[in-house]
């Protein structure tokens, strides 16, 4: 596609439910990033995929969070047993390669846990 696509754009879920957020990166981009932006806050790094290398999961806040990237393309971020503090905008970005000068961001998924 022309840009990074994320779905859904908005998600409201009940506390304790699991959610899946999807990211479709730009075709050919080998690097994929997930960030979280809480209201009025900066971007918190969650996880980074680069090609076939093991992902950098150092930013995942708890074991309720996991992500996978199938076939080096689409990525899914899963949050199990959601909590109210998980409410945020989840942003995905992709770039052509490690250290590439430009990471392109999707519009984000706004997650609200009620």
Partner 1 sequence: GEDVEQSLFLSVREGDSSVINCTYTDSSSTYLYWYKQEPGAGLQLLTYIFSNMDMKQDQRLTVLLNKKDKHLSLRIADTQTGDSAIYFCAETAGRRALTFGSGTRLQVQP
Q: Is 7 in the site for partner 1 (CB under 8 A)?
A: no
Query: Smallest gap, in angstroms, from Cβ of residue 101 to partner 1?
Result: 5
Considering only 18-26, 34-42, 66-74, 79-87, which stretch makes contact with partner 1 by CB under 8 A?
34-42
89 within 8 A of 8, measured Cβ to Cβ = no
Cα 23 to Cα 103: distance, rounded to the nearest angstrom: 14
Both structure tokens of 59: 């930013």
Cα 107 to Cα 84: distance, rounded to the nearest angstrom: 22
**Interface with partner 1 (CB under 8 A):** 33, 35, 41-43, 45, 48, 56, 59, 91, 93, 98-99, 101-108
């Amino acid at each position: 596609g022309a840009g990074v696509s994320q779905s859904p754009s908005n998600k409201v879920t009940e506390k304790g439910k699991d959610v899946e957020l999807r990211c479709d990166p730009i075709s050919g981009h080998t690097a994929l990033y997930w960030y979280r932006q809480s209201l009025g806050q900066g971007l918190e790094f969650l996880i980074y995929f680069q090609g076939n290398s093991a992902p950098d999961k150092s930013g995942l806040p708890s074991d309720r969070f996991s992500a996978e990237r199938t076939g080096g393309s689409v990525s899914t971020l899963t949050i199990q047993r959601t909590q109210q503090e998980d409410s945020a905008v989840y942003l995905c970005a992709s770039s052509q390669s490690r250290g590439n000068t430009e990471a392109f961001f999707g519009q984000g998924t706004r997650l609200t846990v009620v």
